[in-house]
């Protein structure tokens, strides 16, 4: 190593030491952790241990066979590595026998004897753990799902790519940059820990790359109404005539509304205005501790209030409404309440990736058991909120390799700047949930499934799915892991509407919805034969169509939007869109 390189390396080592002190100081700011939300409680561990002891007592031969096979594969991996090292040759690749794994794209994982051995042994370990767990005789399906979830977390966490000494990409870059990549990575880590109150939460996107209202969320409009829970935005018309019946969108308050207006070319808001709709969108307040007692009934009341304001501003007795994700769940409750009240203000409703029947908890099974829910109760008692940080972390670990470990490797080991990606920026701009509302949702709707079962008590009424009788269109997404399409379909099937349609988009929870016609990226299924024979029968009878579902839904909506009238100008602007609430960030 020449003198300048040695000097640079020494300087970087000194920087690492300084950053290390900052990191320790930042970590010391972390609040006392709540074990209830850090992982499954001891009951799951006891259940797993009991199942293993039972297997040992009843099938000792099978366990011994598994162990012997594991030993054999481990010795074979070691022997292959030793032979390759002794002969100074490249390791032999067995890619044809393995499922491609993007974590191991670097050729050294295949050709270098050390890295090849590490990769093969990791795969051997993972296989052995999965086989051992799959053979456990667990008491029920809930225990099975929870044990499988915990197993995946452990396997993903222990990947050799997550450690500097066994990550060839990180080691190569550290050498190429004379340690600068590690310095930058540590700076990224310290920044994230300091920014999140002592918690290590990896930044998924460059927070300085976007400003809402300047380069994302720029559709032209005005806030025309404001309450303690919402700002109502009316968008400026871009057509000379508009449909008589106005359209109101309720986005989820778990995130912010501008996912529907990230940039002009994929903005559902701009597209709807261009289709001749007088469009209103709710921007929700990001709650602080003073909102602790706000409940689901307050949000339903806010829905009714926003509807009243839209009807007043447009001088129309009825309107069309859209609810996305949890806002669709709450819209369904609102529709059921309106039916009980004999109020026909809603002409049609659209539900986007909406769950209303929670009989199958799917990938959320782990999080919807009493141990974790009790932990959230403690969080709410302590903070008055279900804080955004906890919500984001929970969602991230549903896809840990993509949303936790992968970004951490790129940021902390490779020293890369988080990408300037609008969707990931939006994903990181999450919101708090009022404590009371969060518990009503988790306990009453998710755990007890009251809306699809005995009825959900709200504002003096016991509401059921069958009370939803408004003409409706539901859109679900094929690979949605947050609101699985089969569960969404099941809720719609139980609703009392005689006029209901279902569209299944390709892709996931966000990409399947934010799927403009211009991209021609994801197709969709529609026209299935009713809701009487289950979701698979519907899927088999449905037709597949290339391209976005937007135009199909647009036609459905236009049929229910009335005649064309002169475009409505915005009156009584409070402030320009996107308003003020959207700029409020959740503070750790």
Distant-in-sequence, close-in-space partners of 282: CB < 8 Å, separation ≥ 6:
230, 231, 232, 233, 248, 249, 250, 251, 257, 302, 306
Indicate which residue of 325, 446, 473, 477 is catalytic: 325
Apex 42 CA angle, 38 and 48, nearest 5: 115
- CA-to-CA dists, residue 183 to 4, 18, 162, 411, 479, angstroms: 17, 10, 17, 11, 38
Apex CA 202: angle with CA 199 and CA 204, to 5°? Answer: 145
Torsion region of 534: left, alpha or beta (phi above 0 gives left; psi -120 to 50 gives alpha) = left
Nearest in space to 150 (alpha carbons), one of 120, 135, 129, 119: 129
Answer yes or no: 325 catalytic: yes
Q: Cα separation of 348 and 556, whole Å?
A: 10
By residue count, the chain amounts to: 588
CA torsion sign for 183, 187, 192, 197 is positive
Structure tokens at 325: 């994700």
User: To 10 degrees, what angle do helices 180-195 and 168-176 make?
Assistant: 110
How far does Cα 308 stand from its chain's mean position?
A: 31
Specify the DSSP element, H or E, that contains 221: strand 221-226
Q: Quick one: which H or E segment has residue 192?
A: helix 180-195
DSSP 3-state of 447: helix
Strands 564-566 and 241-243: antiparallel
Do 557 and 320 touch, CB atoms closer than 8 A?
yes
Active site residues: 325
């Amino acid at each position: 190593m020449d003198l300048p390189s040695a000097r640079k390396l020494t300087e970087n080592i000194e920087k690492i030491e300084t950053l290390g002190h900052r990191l320790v100081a930042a970590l010391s700011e972390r609040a006392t952790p709540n074990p209830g939300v850090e992982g499954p409680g001891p009951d799951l561990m006891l259940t797993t241990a009991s199942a293993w002891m039972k297997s040992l007592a009843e099938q000792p031969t099978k366990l011994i066979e598994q162990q012997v096979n594991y030993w054999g594969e481990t010795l074979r991996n070691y022997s292959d590595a030793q032979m390759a090292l002794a002969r100074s040759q490249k390791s032999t690749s067995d890619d044809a026998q393995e499922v491609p794994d993007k974590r191991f794209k670097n050729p050294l994982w295949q050709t270098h004897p050390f890295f090849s051995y590490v990769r093969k042994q990791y795969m051997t370990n993972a296989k052995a753990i999965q086989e051992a767990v799959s053979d456990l005789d667990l008491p029920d399906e809930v225990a099975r799902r929870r044990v499988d979830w915990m197993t995946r977390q452990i396997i993903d966490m222990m990947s050799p790519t997550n450690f500097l000494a066994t990550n060839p990409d990180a080691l190569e870059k550290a050498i190429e940059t004379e340690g600068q990549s590690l310095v930058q990575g540590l700076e990224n880590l310290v920044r994230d820990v300091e920014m999140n109150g002592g918690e290590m939460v990896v930044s998924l996107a460059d927070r300085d790359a976007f400003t809402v209202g300047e380069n994302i969320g720029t559709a032209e409009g005005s806030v025309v109404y404001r309450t303690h829970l919402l700002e109502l935005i009316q968008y400026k018309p871009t057509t000379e005539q508009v449909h008589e019946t106005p359209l109101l969108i309720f986005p989820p308050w778990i995130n912010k509304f501008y996912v529907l207006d990230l940039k002009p070319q994929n903005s559902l808001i701009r597209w709807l205005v261009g289709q001749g709709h007088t469009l209103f969108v709710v921007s929700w307040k990001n709650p602080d501790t003073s909102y602790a007692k706000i409940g689901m009934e307050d949000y339903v009341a806010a829905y009714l209030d926003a509807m009243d304001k839209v009807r007043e501003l447009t001088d129309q007795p009825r309107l069309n409404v859209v609810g996305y994700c949890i806002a669709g769940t709450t819209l369904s409750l609102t529709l059921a309440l309106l039916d009980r009240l004999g109020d026909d203000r809603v002409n049609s409703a659209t539900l986007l990736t909406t769950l209303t029947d929670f009989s199958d908890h799917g990938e959320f099974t782990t999080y919807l058991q009493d141990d974790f829910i009790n932990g959230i109760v403690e969080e709410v008692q302590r903070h008055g909120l279900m804080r955004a940080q906890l919500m984001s972390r929970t969602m991230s670990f549903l896809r840990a390799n993509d949303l936790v470990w992968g970004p951490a490797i790129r940021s902390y080991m490779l020293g890369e700047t988080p990408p300037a990606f609008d969707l990931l920026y939006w994903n990181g701009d999450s919101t708090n949930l009022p404590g009371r509302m969060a518990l009503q949702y988790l306990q009453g709707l998710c755990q007890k499934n009251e809306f699809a079962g005995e009825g959900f008590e709200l504002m003096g009424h016991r509401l059921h799915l069958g009370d939803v009788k408004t003409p409706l269109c539901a859109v679900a997404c094929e690979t949605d892991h947050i609101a699985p399409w089969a569960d969404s379909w099941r809720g719609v099937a139980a609703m009392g509407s005689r006029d209901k349609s279902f569209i299944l988009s390709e892709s996931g929870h966000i990409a399947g919805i934010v799927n403009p016609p211009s991209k021609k990226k994801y197709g969709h299924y529609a026209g299935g034969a009713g809701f009487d024979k289950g979701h698979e029968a519907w899927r088999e009878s449905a037709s597949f169509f290339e391209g976005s579902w937007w135009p199909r839904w647009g036609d459905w909506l236009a049929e229910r939007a009335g005649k064309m009238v002169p475009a409505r100008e915005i009156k009584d602007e409070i402030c320009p869109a996107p308003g003020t609430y959207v700029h409020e960030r959740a503070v750790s």
